[in-house]
């Protein structure tokens, strides 16, 4: 039969205190990580929305252009579209 000494109880208490502090630190780290993941998800969603808006804007701009007639004098590739008459 083993006997628990005061020193054993003190060691156990110190160990449990240390473990508790480590668990608290881990819990804080997990909360910070969760916040970082949430922020990243929001940023990614905003980036996606901005990309869609830019794509729609470019599509509308392209729709407002019409091809230059084939009879135009040697137009370069960058001059192959002209603003549509509104």
pLDDT digits (tens, 9 = 90+) for 57-67: 999 999 898 77
pLDDT at 66: 76
Listed as ranges, residues in the chain with pLDDT below 70 are 1, 68-86
Tell me which residue has tokens 């990243």. 40
Q: CA 36 to CA 42: how far, in whole Å?
A: 10
pLDDT at 3: 78
Q: CA 46 to CA 50: how far, in whole Å?
A: 6
Residue 83 carries which DSSP code?
A: E
Beta bridge partners of 66: 82
pLDDT at 33: 98
Q: Where are the alpha helices (DSSP H) in 1-86?
A: 6-63
CB proximity list for 43: less than 8 A, separation 6 or greater: none
This prediction's pTM: 0.54
């Amino acid at each position: 039969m083993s006997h628990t000494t005061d020193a054993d109880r003190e060691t156990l208490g110190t160990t449990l205190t240390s473990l508790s502090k480590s668990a608290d630190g881990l819990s804080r780290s997990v909360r910070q990580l969760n916040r970082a993941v949430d922020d990243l998800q929001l940023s990614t969603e905003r980036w996606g929305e901005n990309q869609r808006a830019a794509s729609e804007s470019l599509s509308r701009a392209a729709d407002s252009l019409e091809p230059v007639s084939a009879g135009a004098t040697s137009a370069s590739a960058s001059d192959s579209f002209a603003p549509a008459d509104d």
